[in-house]
Structure 1
Amino acid sequence: MPNKVYIKLIFSALFLFLAITVSAQNNSKNSKSGWTYTKNSSVVELKTNEKDSLKVDFLSIKADTGLTILQNQFGIPETDSGMIKIEAFIDNVISQNDSTSPAMFVHVKMGAKIVALKDPRIVDLLGRSSSGKVTISIPFDRKINNLYLGFVLNPNSLVSCRNYRIKITQGEFSKEWESTHSSKFQTVTDFAANLQLLGKVWGYLKYFSPKISDEDIAWDRILINNIDTLFKNTDRENFLHVITKLVDTATYENSCTLTSSPGLDSATAFEKMNIDYTWIFDSSVLDERLKDQLLSLSRCYQHFENDYVKTPVETGKPSPEFAEDGYDKNSLSEYRYRLLSLFRYWNIIEYYGPYKYLVKERWSHILEELIPEFTAANTSSKYTRALLKLNASIKDGHATTSSSLLPHFSLSGNGSLLPFRLTLLDGKAYVAKIDTLYAKHTGMKQGDEVVSINGYGVQYLIETLRSGISHVRREMKDRVITQHNLLARTPIQKDSSIVKFVSNGAIGRASVYQDQNYFKQYDFKPFWTFQKRTTGGNGAYQLISDSILYVNVEKWKNTDVPTTKNLLAVASNVIIDCRYYPSWDFIEFASVFFQDTTDMIKFMVVQNYPGLLKEQVARSIPSSDFRYKGNIYVLMSEESLSRPEMLIMFLKSIKKNIYFVGRTSAGADGDIASIPMIGRNNMEFIYSGLGVFFPDNTATQGVGIEPDTYITETKAEFIDGEDVILKNTIDLIQKKRFP
């Protein structure tokens, strides 16, 4: 596993090495070939190829004290896209341990700007290679004109290599690469299915086999090498050899005779709902020996210290935590690393996703669908679109990662932003806010319907954006589009933004040239930011009338306890606004609304056994010094997401004198977990790492919680800023229209 201190040290060194080069006469020695190395090295041997500066016939460097860097810079003809490939044969590598192994680094640059970089440890590159050959491949899809590369050594380490070669080719952008890689999915029977099985077996072993962690096996590197092997040789016999070797590498000789895991014997069917080994039983590729080897790991599973995951049982936290190597943060990763990302994500959801049951049938086959797409994603935009598609496939409301990037990666054209905010209502887009000067120039005004943007029909834009958002319900996808103002970020095709709209029954056309002056004359600040709902009250609480107390659960603090209790003593009705994110202070205070001890909510917590959940029921504990006896009205809507939804579930366990008003909640409950991915796409991948259910196992994830009284969304909410839900609730209380 990667050593975080080591990685930080390496990155610091890489970003500082330019300064080291500048002061070479004081801190380093130079060779005629342009290679530079720091004085911390006691022995350096370097034999370069006189005819080709991109070749080094022999290189040896030994570090005694401090950090040692051997580096070079190469200017190259400006190139739009291609592959940087570095190959070498490592004769010897010595370090105090694997975590301080010497590393090779490559900076791919355009001028002073880094386009791509990579700095793998040599020990990881070698893996179990017997030949000593190592390869670094870096695809790029934007202009470059120079390279910085070399070696970084920690104290008391050594590396020697021969035939160090740097190649610049068309790589994944060439027709040759297409014919040897992407075309295999059309020409080789079951090729995607075989890769899918490889990814499943690899992930299953990663989480079930103690040997991988015990012996610190470079499991990612083994997968990468196997992917390479399968693309080079697609024979069925070769595939079986790869799978057999993979299983044998990861498993000890098994003497276990158990027929089922002790960890599962006491578990309920609900706790085991995500466990599924059908893909092993039904495989026509795996022979009986392999099936038994794999299934014995689940039958005989005993908890071990897994290098890749820490569960809530181990940490005491609500969700699992994952330790993974990022390898590079380039906008486009090499195809084997793209597939590694795909397999990593799939297996985390497979074994540690509490809500996997929601997509269980589709999840079993999603790899076979996405493997060709991840392989063929030879530009940063294509790779990001593939990642977004993967992320959207889990149908998890927490997984709406970096939504503001959706228009850029989902549509062609240049980045843009329009000086207005659009809100979706019943599948149509309306102007909620607009820059005053833009409105004057174009005739567009608040409340107008927009029908097309930059050549795209609004309905097409909405459907395209929805496809990249990880929600089950359409209204929640539309909420994301509205809150992040995604329609106003639609790319332009040339140099002007063109918007068609309906105003007072007539079609209008707003065409504005987007030059530097465009971004100076209009105020964009109100439209860049995430839109927050209009506040329902001015503070933590507000006495609306002698009999109605309003409470904002987000602003409420412990210091408000005395005043709130005094107000509750005289108010016969209290409105609890759960459209806001509640403070833990208020959640604790909510005990005053309970009259009896009752089951409120059931948490399904990820366990050590991969795929297993454990029920934990939360019970209400009524306040001992004060209990509210009046009517309770809970405000809710699609804004009620995660913790607000949990509070609603708590309050739902109160059976008398409580009413829920508004719209269906988000259906995205549970604590979040992060999935470390490969590539710099300005996205954070998260999912719901804790399952949350009603005590009777009724789900809210992807469904939401229904109110007793439904208040339809209207234009007044986003045009006039009117709080329709609060207004209607007050009206219903005053007219006593509740059951």
Structure 2
Amino acid sequence: MHLIGSIIHPLFFCSVPTRYTTWLLGCGILLSGSWVKAQSTTLASINLDLETQDKARHLPAGWAPGIHSPGAPTPGYQVQTDSVVHQQGRYSVRLQSSYDAGTNSFGAAHWAIPARYQGKSITLSGYLKTEAVQNGFAGLWMRLDGPNGTLGFDNMQKANLQGTHDWQLYSITLPLAPEAKTIYLGGLLVGTGSAWLDNLSLTIDGKPLTQARPKATTVYKADADTAFQKSSGIAFSKLSAQQVENLAVLGQVWGFVKYYHPAVARGDYNWDKELFRIMPAVLASQNQADRSRVLSTWLTGLGPVTSPVAATVSPSKIRVQPTLAWLTDGKQLSKELQQQLLYLRAHPAAATAHYYVGPAEAGNLAFLHEDAYAQMAYPDAGYRLLGLFRYWNIIEYFFPYKYAIGEDWQPVLSEFIPQFANAPDALHYRLAALRLIARVHDTHANLWGADKVLTDYRGNYTVPVSIQFVQQQAVVAKLRPTTQAAPTVLQPGDIITTVDGEIVADWVKARQPIFPASNQPTQLRNMAGMLLRGNTPTVRLGIIRNGKASTLDVNRVSLSSLTPPTQTAATDSSHRFLRPDVGYLTLGQISTKSLPRIMSEFSQTKGLVIDIRNYPAEFVVFTLSQYLVPRPTPFVKFSIPVPSQPGLFTWTNALHVRPGKGQAYPGKVVILVNEETQSQAEYTTMALRTAPRATVLGSTTAGADGNVSRFALPGNLSTMISGIGIYYPDGRETQRVGIVPDVEMHPTVQGLQAGRDELLEKALELIDQG
């Protein structure tokens, strides 16, 4: 899973379709925990039958409308109690669009409760009634948040509940992650029409909450440290070269101790606050000796290190070693400080429990207790430096592809200290963070979420077209539907040469440092969605159409007026016959339960085109590949972090796809990929290309594979990284490289002008060649 303003790209193993707007973000944007506080609730007070009313607010007691802040309705929607239409009792909640509801808009009602329960799964059930729902859907929604963002989300989008329907019972289920902190639930209406919600229930492993086991809680000393809530106390007008050096050494030592020291791992210290306590003395140090003395005394004060010697790992299992040569750098560290750090290196914190790092489901790590400091829209200098140190050290110790970023990571810390320290406002702080993130070259890494500062910077208006970079030129690929009546004067195939007088190539070059991506095609993909955005209702564009240059004043529309792409439909549009002997399957609309029927229909064809120029609607790596492979076949292996030795990554055994019960599909398989093929889509391609007669056709994919690990930065900034390494069984890379096609092909300007799918045409040609 990538969000830039209101446009996202997908996460690995997280069903977020490509380029969906914020109301469709099932992985951490919609109904963000940064603004919703979990009410202090008892089981008896959870008002799921909606019968206890807050008459002053025209809502069930404890419920709130909208998502922008508690009690603030979404513009264009009424969210309130209905005493006339109800499934049981006397009341329901009605969500109704008004005349000014945009297609990208939604209305929601929510309740939030602490996740105090043990179990494997949690299910929300409830009754829904709809009337004339169009341009969207209605649904129940539920979301689980952990210390660093969303752990699970479902909004019934795939059910595609549209039109008019009487009361019907629905349910959604999520895995109940042990690290979950808050449960958010409610009803949702996307688009226009009306929806009613009533008679809800919440169960854990099929049992009501009254029978759910309470979750054991651990009390940490770090949680009791409430200092520096409003300010770090760090301020300076200008940093000297000595102070930059001091801060760089502090950042490295602080991060190393954070992940290696047993006292920090136990949660005895809030390491953010300890940074602010030690930073003034480090800043005041006049030389290496002064600085080392301050840091050595600080480490001694943490108490003795009694951890056992680190376990030995077989060299054959190691993919990446920690880069800790700086621990013996005599120019930066005194002998005494070196000895302390080396001893800590040899006796790291135990892997069983760490206050700041925990296991995630796929072998990657969950970053814990990383406070977003959401109350600080523009954090002060100390908190901004905390953001830099936090990010730099997470990359240093837990990014599986640090070796592939193309430069030495250590000097990057010193380079960015002035940028973070001197950022004059909230926007420049965010731009500094984007420049830092971009240096990692991971398409999973970005600033995610509907951040108002960045949205205003990028523009609240855009031209309703999709832009695609073809042969290094910005080309109109297609028109986008909008609720605003005026059609655009642009046409598919138009080449955009200038935007308000700025040459497109110059626009790209100037902004590349703030567009994180694994490779250039993916960076251009992301930039294409921003090229025509702005805060004025019109934009002057230089274009080339049919070989002739001209200048046009083009109307923009509000972002909220754009009709989002949908990966669900009233009928199954995931497959069709391109001709009687060739089947076509697009994973952007695939349903696992329909695969047996689809593959039965295609069983006698001579060729099958599988289109993965999208994000799979469902995880079909094994369920689809079983129809294509005749024998167990390895397709991937992973590198995973070793929590007890931060910076160390080890190999796993290869994972296999396996045949099903019937005969493997005998025909030619052509898999279509491009820069939209990202993360789970790339992983799926790796599996499907093991079919004996498979050919991958297209261009460089996004080059970002591996389950993601999320964390926050001060100022309520949300980011993440690829958390595990993904490799072919023989060790070949996928990060940055992407899935290398067997046959490389790109669309052309002429093809876009004619509305042709040139890759699909080539796929048919390859099938005919046998």
Give the TM interval when normalised to the shorter protein: 0.5 to 0.7
Q: Distance in 2 between matches of 1:677 and 1:584?
A: 30
Matches within 5 A, 1:654-693: 654=691, 656-680=692-716, 683-693=717-727
Q: Distance in 1 between matches of 2:730 and 2:715?
A: 42
Q: Distance in 1 between matches of 2:470 and 2:600?
A: 41
Higher Rg of the two aligned structures:
1
Q: Report the secondary structure of 1:542's partner residue.
A: strand
| 1:628, distance to aligned residue in structure 2 (A) | 2.3
Kept in 1, the 8 Å contact 2:498–2:542? The answer is yes
In structure 2, the residue matched to 1:501 is 543
1:615-636 residue CA offsets vs partner (Å, 9 max, x unmatched) = 2220222223332233222222
Change (3 A) 1:497 1:657: closer
Change (3 A) 1:405 1:362: farther
1:210-248 residue CA offsets vs partner (Å, 9 max, x unmatched) = 112336212111111222333345454442232112322
Q: Report the secondary structure of 1:632's partner residue.
A: strand
Is 1:488 the counterpart of 2:540? The answer is no
| 1:710, distance to aligned residue in structure 2 (A) | 1.8
Q: Distance in 2 between matches of 1:436 and 1:285?
A: 59
In structure 2, the residue matched to 1:44 is none
1:428 equivalent among 448, 473, 478 = 473
Matches within 5 A, 1:517-556: 523-524=557-558, 528=562, 539-556=573-590
Q: Distance in 1 between matches of 2:540 and 2:648?
A: 53
Q: Distance in 2 between matches of 1:265 and 1:238?
A: 37
Kept in 2, the 8 Å contact 1:660–1:709? The answer is yes
Is 1:296 the counterpart of 2:343? The answer is yes
Is 1:603 the counterpart of 2:603? The answer is no
1:220 equivalent among 272, 277, 295 = 272
Kept in 2, the 8 Å contact 1:213–1:305? The answer is yes
Q: Distance in 2 between matches of 1:508 and 1:602?
A: 52
1:713-734 residue CA offsets vs partner (Å, 9 max, x unmatched) = 2235655543221122113323
Kept in 1, the 8 Å contact 2:625–2:657? The answer is no
Q: Distance in 1 between matches of 2:427 and 2:406?
A: 28
Q: Which moved more, 1:324-333 or 1:702-711?
A: 324-333
Change (3 A) 1:440 1:510: farther
In structure 1, the residue matched to 2:327 is 280
Matches within 5 A, 1:297-376: 297-301=344-348, 302-312=350-360, 318-359=364-405, 361-376=407-422
Q: Distance in 1 between matches of 2:223 and 2:633?
A: 58
Is 1:613 the counterpart of 2:649? The answer is yes
| 1:547, distance to aligned residue in structure 2 (A) | 2.5
| 1:395, distance to aligned residue in structure 2 (A) | 0.4
Change (3 A) 1:135 1:581: closer
Task: Give the residue type in structure 1 aligned to 2:677.
Answer: S
Q: Distance in 2 between matches of 1:590 and 1:648?
A: 10
Q: Report the secondary structure of 1:479's partner residue.
A: helix
Q: Distance in 1 between matches of 2:668 and 2:463?
A: 46
Is 1:454 the counterpart of 2:500? The answer is yes
Task: Give the residue type in structure 2 aligned to 1:401.
Answer: L
| 1:678, distance to aligned residue in structure 2 (A) | 0.7
In structure 2, the residue matched to 1:643 is 680
Kept in 1, the 8 Å contact 2:638–2:724? The answer is yes
2:257 equivalent among 205, 211, 218 = 205
Q: What is the TM-score with the length of structure 1 in the denominator?
A: 0.67
Q: Distance in 2 between matches of 1:571 and 1:441?
A: 42
Q: Distance in 1 between matches of 2:702 and 2:587?
A: 17
Name whichever structure is richer in helix by fraction: 1
Q: How many residues are aligned here?
A: 552
Matches within 5 A, 1:560-599: 560-582=594-616, 583-585=618-620, 587-599=622-634
Task: Give the residue type in structure 1 aligned to 2:270.
Answer: A
Q: Distance in 1 between matches of 2:247 and 2:477?
A: 48
Task: Give the residue type in structure 2 aligned to 1:386.
Answer: A
Matches within 5 A, 1:389-428: 389-402=435-448, 416-428=461-473
Is 1:194 the counterpart of 2:246? The answer is yes
1:505-539 residue CA offsets vs partner (Å, 9 max, x unmatched) = 55533457xxxxx7xxx65469857778999x972
Q: Report the secondary structure of 1:221's partner residue.
A: helix
Q: Report the secondary structure of 2:765's partner residue.
A: helix
Q: Distance in 2 between matches of 1:455 and 1:402?
A: 30
| 1:363, distance to aligned residue in structure 2 (A) | 1.1
| 1:692, distance to aligned residue in structure 2 (A) | 0.5
Q: Distance in 1 between matches of 2:545 and 2:592?
A: 49
In structure 2, the residue matched to 1:473 is 519
1:5-46 residue CA offsets vs partner (Å, 9 max, x unmatched) = 9x947999xxxxxxxxxxxxxxxxxxxxxxxxxxxxxxxxxx
Q: Distance in 2 between matches of 1:240 and 1:645?
A: 47
Q: Distance in 2 between matches of 1:280 and 1:329?
A: 36
Change (3 A) 1:9 1:658: closer
Kept in 2, the 8 Å contact 1:439–1:445? The answer is no
Task: Give the residue type in structure 2 aligned to 1:689.
Answer: G
Kept in 2, the 8 Å contact 1:450–1:499? The answer is yes
Q: Distance in 2 between matches of 1:505 and 1:717?
A: 14
Q: Distance in 2 between matches of 1:392 and 1:311?
A: 26
Q: Which moved more, 1:606-615 or 1:670-679?
A: 606-615
Q: Report the secondary structure of 2:589's partner residue.
A: coil
Q: Distance in 1 between matches of 2:381 and 2:504?
A: 34
Change (3 A) 1:440 1:720: farther
- Unaligned 5+ residue runs, structure 2? 1-32, 42-221
| 1:330, distance to aligned residue in structure 2 (A) | 2.6
Q: Percent identity?
A: 25
Q: Distance in 1 between matches of 2:322 and 2:286?
A: 31
| 1:373, distance to aligned residue in structure 2 (A) | 0.5
Q: What is the TM-score with the length of structure 2 in the denominator?
A: 0.64
Kept in 1, the 8 Å contact 2:262–2:305? The answer is no
Task: Give the residue type in structure 2 aligned to 1:295.
Answer: L
- Unaligned 5+ residue runs, structure 1? 13-120, 127-133, 140-171, 513-517
In structure 1, the residue matched to 2:294 is 242
Change (3 A) 1:692 1:181: same
1:556-594 residue CA offsets vs partner (Å, 9 max, x unmatched) = 334324423433431232222222333224632312211
Change (3 A) 1:198 1:504: same
| 1:600, distance to aligned residue in structure 2 (A) | 1.4
Q: Report the secondary structure of 2:746's partner residue.
A: coil
Q: Which moved more, 1:210-219 or 1:370-379?
A: 210-219
Matches within 5 A, 1:154-165: none
